[in-house]
């Protein structure tokens, strides 16, 4: 089935383990929903709640759920993670991005991972 016939296509990759999704139906790019605030955008990336790099650094198999995030929420969450690591005040960043960053830190403690800067 071609895109003109209504197929959904997936392309690109932010990382080998986090697929970037672009949905095209009948040649029209479809808006997708971000998990953080239920807003829509043209591209969503699947991202690990606990950063992939922390698992790799620990030599452990990645064992964390994925969240579908728009680029703004994705990077805001990374800014929150790095802010928490550096002891900076993150209260001006989106609250749900703060919560996801805190979940990453809690998960790191739970699984014996060492948080490291992500940006």
Average the pLDDT over 12-24 and give the result: 58
Number of domains in the chain: 1
The domain in which residue 63 lies consists of 3-111
Task: Give the pLDDT of residue 32.
Answer: 93
**pTM assigned to the model:** 0.80
The answer for residues whose C-beta is within 8 angstroms of residue 69's C-beta and 6 or more apart is 34, 35, 36, 44, 45, 46, 47, 77
Q: What angle do CA 111, 113, 114 make, to 5 degrees?
A: 155
Is residue 117, in this structure, part of any structural domain at all?
Answer: no
Average the pLDDT over 104-108 and give the result: 97
| Token pair 């900076």: residue | 88
Name the nearest CA neighbour of 111 among 66, 59, 67, 47: 59
Is residue 80, in this structure, part of any structural domain at all?
Answer: yes
Is residue 34, in this structure, part of any structural domain at all?
Answer: yes
Encode pLDDT of 66-94 as tens digits. Answer: 999 999 999 999 999 999 999 999 999 99
């Amino acid at each position: 089935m071609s895109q003109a016939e209504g197929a959904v296509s997936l392309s690109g990759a932010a990382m080998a383990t986090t697929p970037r999704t672009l949905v095209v139906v009948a040649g029209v790019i479809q808006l997708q929903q971000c998990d953080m605030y239920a807003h829509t955008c043209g591209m969503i990336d699947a991202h690990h709640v606990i950063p992939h790099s922390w698992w790799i650094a620990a030599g452990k198999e990645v064992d964390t759920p994925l969240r579908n995030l728009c680029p703004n929420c994705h990077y805001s969450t990374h800014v929150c993670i790095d802010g928490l690591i550096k002891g900076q005040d993150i209260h001006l960043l989106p609250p749900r991005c703060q919560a996801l960053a805190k979940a990453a830190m809690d998960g790191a403690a739970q699984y014996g991972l060492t948080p490291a800067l992500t940006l």
